[in-house]
Amino acid sequence: MDHHRAPETDAETIRLYRLLKWGLYTELPMTVMFFTIAFVTGSSALTAIAIQSAVALVVNGFAVYAMRQVMGENAYNFPYGAGKLENFSAFLCGVLYVPSGLYVMFDAVERLIHAPEVGYLLSQIPVSISLARGVVLYVIATRMVRATRNPSPLLRSYQLDYRVGLLTDGGVMISFALAWVLVDAGVPAIGDRIDPLVALAIAFYMIWVGVSLVRNNFRALMDLPLSEEEQLMITRELAHHYADYDVVGTLCTRSSGKRRFVEIELGFDGEKSVEHVHVLSRHMEQALAAELPGLHFRIVPVWEPDE
């Protein structure tokens, strides 16, 4: 698929796109396996994981599409980048997680009251495979986050998703092993209820993660200004260069994915040249970029008429 990539695509975007493709290709067989074995064993916890996997499959598919748009962006189609596709992908994951978690929670409560028998040994097979896959993907995502000072919202959401998967799979394997011991020891009343208890814990975690993703990415989907702290940095930089211009006009700021856009209208007297404005813009951008990674900075010059 590399023929869709624009020449200016950065290395981080390429690595993220490859990670998402591998996640998508491996998610489909995992989803089928979880649903199948959940039906055979009657496990509520596996049903919860299967729903998680189905949600991840939908979101992964959209994320791969989003990354194709990001990698194919150009000045005509995406003048401000395609970062909002990344925010929407993370937002979509949260939106799907919340109702899915509520469904799993209600199903788990019902199974706690009327606990069915669960095939714990067979249930360990898909969980162990999922755990091994999750370790690989989480290690790759974590290395990518640490390798950049300004990771994209999409990468952070997937790192969080892989972390959730690892905690889920590890907890399920331990719980299933304990439940099997209890059932084998002749205490099925307790052993068979461990499965819905695990499902209930997964449901609460899904809801928490979903709300977190929705809250963190909803703001980014709107063209809101940068935070007050970031605007204060811009104001301080303007004050530092107060002698290089005459009037401050409109100040526009916005964000798109991991990018921050700053556009400042400055007035200059007739003696200031275009080269002066260019040098000032470059100095201000370099100073702000240290505090605002992913900065796209532009000065809109307005020359005052000579008296």
pLDDT per residue as tens digits for the range 169-217: 888 888 889 989 998 888 888 888 888 888 888 888 888 888 887 877 7
- Which distant-in-sequence residues (6+ apart) come within 8 Å of 260 by Cβ? 226, 230, 253, 254, 292, 293, 294, 295, 296
- Measured in degrees and rounded to the nearest 5, phi and psi for residue 158 equal -75, -35
Query: In a 3-state reduction of DSSP, which class is residue 252?
Result: strand
DSSP class of residue 79 equals T
- In the chain, the amino acid numbered 218 is F
For 218-244, how does the pLDDT look when each residue is reduced to its tens digit (9 = 90+)?
766 666 677 788 888 888 888 888 888
Rg (CA), the chain: 25
Query: pLDDT at position 187, please?
Result: 86
Q: For the domain 228-303, what is the CATH code?
A: 3.30.70.1350
DSSP class of residue 116 equals -
For 36-73, how does the pLDDT look when each residue is reduced to its tens digit (9 = 90+)?
999 998 888 888 888 888 888 887 887 787 777 666 65
What percentage of the chain carries pLDDT values higher than 90? Answer: 10
Counting every residue written for the chain, the total comes to: 307
pTM here is: 0.62
Q: Tell me the C-alpha distance between 50 and 45, whole Å.
A: 9
Query: pLDDT at position 76, please?
Result: 46
Domain layout of the chain by residue ranges: 2-221, 228-303
- Measured in degrees and rounded to the nearest 5, phi and psi for residue 107 equal -65, -40
Q: Distance of CA 120 to CAs 18, 33, 225, Å?
A: 35, 15, 52
For 262-303, how does the pLDDT look when each residue is reduced to its tens digit (9 = 90+)?
888 888 887 778 888 888 888 888 888 877 877 888 888 887
Tokens of 171: 């907890």
Pure H helices in the chain: 11-41, 44-71, 83-113, 120-147, 153-184, 188-218, 228-240, 274-289
Q: Distance of CA 85 to CAs 60, 89, 171, Å?
A: 12, 6, 33
Q: Identify the CATH assignment for 2-221 out of 1.10.10.10, 2.60.120.10, 1.20.1510.10, 1.10.10.60.
A: 1.20.1510.10
Query: pLDDT at position 82, please?
Result: 53
